[in-house]
Amino acid sequence: MAEQRTSGGSGGWLLVLFGLLMVVIGAPLVYGGVQLIGLGGSWYYTLAGLGVIASGILYIMRRKSGLWLYAIVFLATVAWAIWESGLEFWPLVPRLVAPAVIAIPALLLAPLFPASTGKRTPFALAGLLAVALAATAFYAFTPHGVTRNAFAKAEPAPTVPPAAASATDWRYYGRTPAGTRYAPIDQINRDNVNQLEVAWTFRHGDTPQGSAQDQSTPLFVGDTLYTCSPNNIVHALNPDTGDVKWKYDPKAKSPLWQRCRGVSYYEPGPAPVQAEASAPADPLAPTSVIAAAPAVPAAPASNACAARIVMTTIDARLIQLDAKTGELCQDFGNGGIVDLKQGMGEIKDGFYFQTSAPTVMRDLIMVGGWVWDNVETGEPSGAVRAFSARTGELVWAWDLGNPAITKLPPEGESYTRGTPNVWSTPAYDEALGLVYLPTGNATPDFWGAHRSKAAEEYSAAVVALDMDTGKERWKFQTVHHDIWDYDVPAQPALYDVPDGKGGKTPALIQLTKRGQIFMLDRRDGKPIAEVEERPVPQGAMEGDWTAPTQPYSVGMPSIGTEPFTEARMWGATPYDQLYCRIEFKKLRYDGEFTPPRTDRSLIYPGYYGGMNWGSAAIDEARGLLIVNDIRMPQFVQLIAREEADNYGGSAAHDGLSQQKGTPYGALKNGFMSPLGVPCHQPPYGTISAVDLETRQLVWQVPAGTLEDTGPLGMKTGMQIPIGMPTLGGPVATSGGLVFYAGTQDYYLRAMDVTTGEELWKGRLPVGAQSTPMTFVSHETGTQYVVISAGGARQSPDRGDYVVAYKLPKQN
């Protein structure tokens, strides 16, 4: 018998209106779904869209079968969603929330159909869906994708307060030359960290503008805290009050990329006796501990510059200041300044300078340099140089393109141009006499046919040099023929790992943008954790080439490296999820080593990482490696030379890179939906812990919430822990804590180092992308945790804050 229809009724217009809405909702699904099918993608969107449109037409016709048809579409959607993504929370949200929202009015309008059997059943079902949506909203505020494996080791014995004051200082960028960011301080611990409060706030006045970023990690030595701002302005602060002791402004200028990640400290003693410049007698002899630094000799007779702050600038100067007064040290260089452009040949404005803190080792200051990525071939050299920390005289140079140059180049020549540079922070082992350099790659990044043999060998590598002579001891490459900008961004971390025989092996742990973690014997560079060469996709543009294999650290966990699939595409709504699926299917993607070509290809992990310059922390008492990562892919497309030349300027990262001197420019950008939401499912950044003895993942948690960001760049105000892109690095303490602040929301957080559980968070005035530090004041015995907050990446909010936290005074 045909279904009875009605010609009117007081609620008939609601059925028509809802039916029209259903047609409007379904039409884009069909339109986009047909495109997706044409690209070889899922049929779901087309079929679901047709079902929604047909259901809408039946509502317009006031047929109750419209409700039944939508019920079938909804149940099929639930089955499809679970089949495609399992029971993971965030992948299900864009698949099920919108259909459930539509189902509620569809049910509530059911009594308006002719011959309706009543309200009870449809209203009850609508109520159940409303409850489910409310539960989903509530559940969204709970972290998802959390890994928590048992940490089976016994808790270390309580820390005995160190006798040496330097043990509670923060004298190096990574606290010690080993770069572990571990403080043997437990005044603030898991039991009392929830009581932390702001001790003081200092504003340096150098708020980041344009491409500037505040990424400074302060130093604390003796009775003073030293910090620098994006334009290299240095302040010396009272550690207990934040009051300024002195200020030095070098008037440094650069057209872009203004940042200062830190300054360094040096105490000259009596003139040293030069050691024989040779390898240790037994370079493979195990070491029981890493020497944090040599004993500090007695200060010179004069009080002037008895202790010195060492800094580099964004206009390529090396400067020494009196640590007590901020005055230039006149016995260093030319009135306290060394010109780092010497020997570098032509340097166009903004093409070469230093962003990372200089490395002070023994009586030497070693510097590398940042170059403006991807603009052209033959950019300034990646040469690394060591200067006398006493006089500023050049002691040695490492020019990987011409090993014969060990100091200044011959008159009229320069260090080899276009070679891989060292823009991040090295680490060094005083006992072995080795310094470890993380290298970049030869410019430009996305075309490599022009590169020299030396550039190929040293790109994206870790290189060990003799500290005294700059002679190479060993190298280990993390990417062969890098045409993806997978250079090594992080400071190596030096730590002695159990060898399985009751002893220790001196290890170097190297994080990479690829999410691979390499564990090497720092004596000879041989892998401790197994490394395997695996075949990778081929097919570079004609004229370039790809390496047949690439190294994978199979003996250590990889972080954030699950390959992309269409099913992993995401969005805040079904529409932008569909958009992302279509765009993904348009891209060429064969994994992390998909070669760039003239069609668009996907890079994941992208050139931001994986892991970046924030580097790792190691809880040395528990043997836990703490890392934060970024999960933000990019697309890249090679653009023919003539078109690239007419495009305009050149971008270091997102946008068009000219790559002059090669056949192609490179157009690249983030893989985002029209709402500004990443096109893949969360998390977009995590913090993880790895047991360095078992080499297993102990815990992993999403990093940060949506509170201070959201679709279209609007702040949601909601603390939904979706896990956002991270910058900066973590710090571990013997109090069982990890401190971290480089999230997209404006907080400094403290986590339990063995579980990843958040124990405390403190609201910051703006976001941070720097690494925190901690120390104990020699004057008051108070432990402080300090963070520079100048604004989170991709946030419009900027500031000039240095914030210190401490426990409240006890009565």
The predicted-structure confidence for 239-293, as pLDDT tens digits, reads as follows: 999 999 999 999 999 999 999 999 999 999 776 554 444 444 444 444 433 444 4
Q: Hey, which residues are catalytic here?
A: 485
Residue 613 backbone class (left: φ over 0; alpha: ψ -120 to 50; beta: rest):
alpha
pLDDT attached to residue 115: 80
pTM metric for this prediction: 0.94
Within 468-573, where are the H helices? none
- The torsion defined by the Cα of 279, 280, 282 and 284, in degrees rounded to 10, comes to -80
Q: What is the per-residue pLDDT across 405-443, written as a single tens digit (0 to 9) for each? A: 999 999 999 999 999 999 999 999 999 999 999 999 999
Q: Which residues of 534-543 are buried (b: 16+ CB within 10 A; e: fewer)?
A: eebbeebbee
d(CA 403, CA 574): 58
Q: Which two tokens stand for residue 612?
A: 């970046």
Two structure tokens written together for 12? 């008939």
Burial of 388 (0-12, 13-18, 19+ CB in 10 A): middle
Query: How many other C-beta atoms lie within 10 A of the C-beta of residue 163?
Result: 6
pLDDT of residue 159: 59
Q: What is the CA radius of gyration of the chain?
A: 29
pLDDT at 585 over 50: yes
What DSSP element (H or E) covers 37?
A: helix 12-38
Sequence letter at residue 18: F
pLDDT band at 9 (very low <50, low <70, confident <90, very high): low
The answer to whether residue 3 scores a pLDDT higher than 50 is no
Q: Do 140 and 43 meet the contact criterion of CB atoms below 8 Å apart? A: no
Structure confidence by residue, pLDDT tens digits, 625-666 = 999 999 999 999 999 999 999 887 777 678 899 999 999 999
pLDDT in tens, 283-341: 444 443 344 444 444 444 458 999 999 999 999 999 999 999 999 999 999 999 999 99
Task: Give the Cα separation of 739 and 415 in Å (integer).
Answer: 41
Please name which of 138, 109, 131 lies closest in space to residue 9, comparing C-alpha atoms: 109
pLDDT at position 6 over 90: no
CB atoms within 10 A of CB 781: 10
Would you say residue 790 has pLDDT above 50? Answer: yes
φ, ψ of residue 697 to 5 degrees: the values are: -70, 125
Residue 654: what pLDDT? 82
Centroid of chain to Cα 738? 16
- pLDDT of 280: 43
Band (pLDDT 50/70/90 cuts) for residue 164 is: low
**Pairing, β 731-733 against β 182-183:** parallel
Residue 4 banded pLDDT, cuts 50, 70, 90: very low
For residue 167, the model assigns a pLDDT of 83
Virtual CA dihedral for 480, 485, 491, 493, nearest 10 degrees?
-40
Distance CA 667, CA 374 (A): 11
Minimum mean pLDDT range among 11-20, 189-198, 746-755? 11-20
Mean pLDDT value of segment 594-617: 95
For the record, the structure tokens of 231 come out as 């334009």
Q: What does pLDDT average to over the chain?
A: 93
Q: Residue 806 is encoded by which pair of tokens? A: 């401490």
The confidence score (pLDDT) of residue 163 equals 53
Task: Output the pLDDT for position 590.
Answer: 96
pLDDT value of residue 302:
59
pLDDT of 154: 78
